[in-house]
Structure 1
């Protein structure tokens, strides 16, 4: 029953009824990964899709020079890879546990067999996936319409919204990221990110280190204008 309750909280399965959730629960495998361990690598044969029960996951691609391009940070309830169903292509990116992480793994072959047996379930899940694609397209359009500093500012606001914990008047974001990590996400250089974070630090809006961020002045961050 615990697995069914967890699946019910996952956005991907929000339209499914109890019987459908129970059928999916029968093929779920719980897997644990320690901090800084890889869940799968880009190009490996895809054998499962994953849902995060606890923890934090980073997905990224690596170019021919060995540089990372971070695709996403994923928290409790989220699925990866997003393109994990309905085709036999390899994993499109590498996934790494940033914290000790517990995942619900659903073997692709078992899941696809289940959907073939229950077409109505497949339709419900595809409707949700369509909404997710539209959401991702919106994020891409948002980023392409901004300059580098605005992208950095928007990225920190998103981190606060999705991963932040309010502690008194501050927001703590326990997301271990280097300046290069942030640069990889927003498509700029490490030096540009360093300048941006220094500006926010001098304005007493936030502090950042390898353990994450502390936003001392959330309202100031929301209203901040590039210098």
Structure 2
């Protein structure tokens, strides 16, 4: 059974040779550049060759909610034929230098028409994204702030394994923007995990020292 994921990568890597054979546009984005900014519709479709991007939604009162991260081997935004007003509140920014192939929506639609496996992968991607949104709205919403944090760290750590153990390269501000949490409460809950020996923190870095103890704090829907 799949668990929710915030980091999307390698979903479309099986099609990289195919994507490179199509006359797309090669794009380079520096760290901090916008792949597109709030106020713009979802127009280009990007296949990410390298790097990592962050997607967030901006509230009209100035709040920001981080939705997901998109890395090597994934497509974002994934093609659909609709135009939703809320898309103009969504922005995607390069967290590190990003190399990508750009396709127009009509072009990507033709590619889907030519390749049923690509269409299947698009459907599966949307199912995974809807699963994340359902998890956020129907499950995380009702957890305590501490359990929300543990769930998030657990799911992020699954994708950030290193030889020294899982490491999450996010600032406290970014964690707060994912959880839509108060920074003071977040700091208090991170301090609790440090005191329990579950994590060690440094600037924009959280190392998971005891994944087993972290899992013990998570909700069953997360594991």
Q: TM-score, normalised by structure 2?
A: 0.77
What SS class does the counterpart of residue 165 from structure 1 fall into? Answer: coil
Aligned length: 205
In structure 1, the partner of 2:166 is: 171
Q: TM-score, normalised by structure 1?
A: 0.76
- Contact 2:46–2:76 at 8 Å: present in 1 too? yes
Q: Give the Cα–Cα distance (whole angstroms) in 1 for the partners of residues 201 and 33 of structure 2.
A: 23
The reply to whether residue 222 of structure 1 matches residue 223 of structure 2 is no
Q: Of the two, which has the highest radius of gyration?
A: 1
User: Which of 79, 103, 107 is the equivalent residue of 2:104?
Assistant: 107
Higher relative contact order (CA 8 A, sep 6+): 2
In structure 1, the partner of 2:75 is: 79
**What CA deviation, in whole Å up to 9, does each residue of 1:67-119 have, x standing for no partner?**
1111111221122123x43345685510111112222222223333x34xx73
The runs of 5 or more residues in structure 2 that have no matched partner are: 1-8
User: Which of 156, 160, 166 is the equivalent residue of 2:157?
Assistant: 160
In structure 2, the partner of 1:55 is: 51
In structure 1, the partner of 2:113 is: 119
What SS class does the counterpart of residue 129 from structure 1 fall into? Answer: helix
The reply to whether residue 35 of structure 1 matches residue 28 of structure 2 is no
The runs of 5 or more residues in structure 1 that have no matched partner are: 1-8
**What CA deviation, in whole Å up to 9, does each residue of 1:20-40 have, x standing for no partner?**
x26x63222221211122121
The reply to whether residue 134 of structure 1 matches residue 141 of structure 2 is no
Query: How far does residue 160 in structure 1 lie from its aligned partner after superposition?
Result: 0.8
The reply to whether residue 198 of structure 1 matches residue 191 of structure 2 is yes
